[in-house]
A = this chain, B = another copy of it.
């Protein structure tokens, strides 16, 4: 069985959270829009009928289709044994995953605070103001929360990585790309989060992927964007 993953082909975005689970789990998939382009994605999306996803990413397995990045990650975790294996912990991992998704949505809001359908350049002043509070209050709040949730363990669920660990890695990578100066100042307060990030980066299961061109670099069309004017210590 090979899944079809559909996501915008030129950005890591929310698709990357799903891709990391597929790659680290050794789960066969085709990255359809990277093979066939954004038009193929839009055509596929429009063809999905009553249970169409609201937006990419979505994952297809025959007649079955599932959307919403944290939902896909949790479902893959359940189906492929990439969770904790006990219900309360698996539910908690989903809770963490949803909190990571909330952080990702806030990151997007920084460069698009007032006009979702327009470019960053048309809302630079507003973005500068949004970035200020995000840097000062929200980055430490989110990362401090994950630090406390790890509580010194190697992985959220204890001795084994899960989809939520992979996603925290991607959040840290994205924040480092978008806010390198601020992250430089914050990271010393969240050593457990940084160590987890390093542990994911070193996972044998991910070495091939992370050094391949399947791993898309961050860029200024995506969710995590580096605009130097939005960053500061």
Contacts and interface: CB of A to CB of B under 8 A. Distances in A.
Given A50-B148, A50-B149, A54-B99, A115 B130 contact: yes
A145 interface: yes
A212 B23 CA distance: 51
B114 A113 contact: yes
Q: How many copies does the complex hold?
A: 2
Contacts of A114: 113-114, 126, 129-130, 133
A219 interface: no
Q: Which of A54, A88, A116, A138 has the most CB of B within 10 A?
A: A54
A66 interface: yes
Interface in A105-156: 105, 109, 113-118, 123, 126, 129-130, 132-134, 137-138, 142, 145, 148-149, 151
A227 interface: no
A67 B97 CA distance: 11
A151 B50 contact: yes
Contacts of A105: 102, 105
A53 interface: yes
B130 A51 contact: no
Interface stretch (A34-42, A68-76, A178-186): A68-76
Nearest to A134: B116
A3 to B, nearest CB: 15
Contacts of A50: 148-149, 151
A22 interface: no
B145 A117 contact: no
A64 B87 CA distance: 11
B116 A113 contact: no
A74 B50 CA distance: 20
A33 interface: no
Contacts of A51: 92, 149
Interface of A: 50-54, 64, 66-68, 70-71, 75, 88, 91-92, 94-95, 98-99, 102, 105, 109, 113-118, 123, 126, 129-130, 132-134, 137-138, 142, 145, 148-149, 151
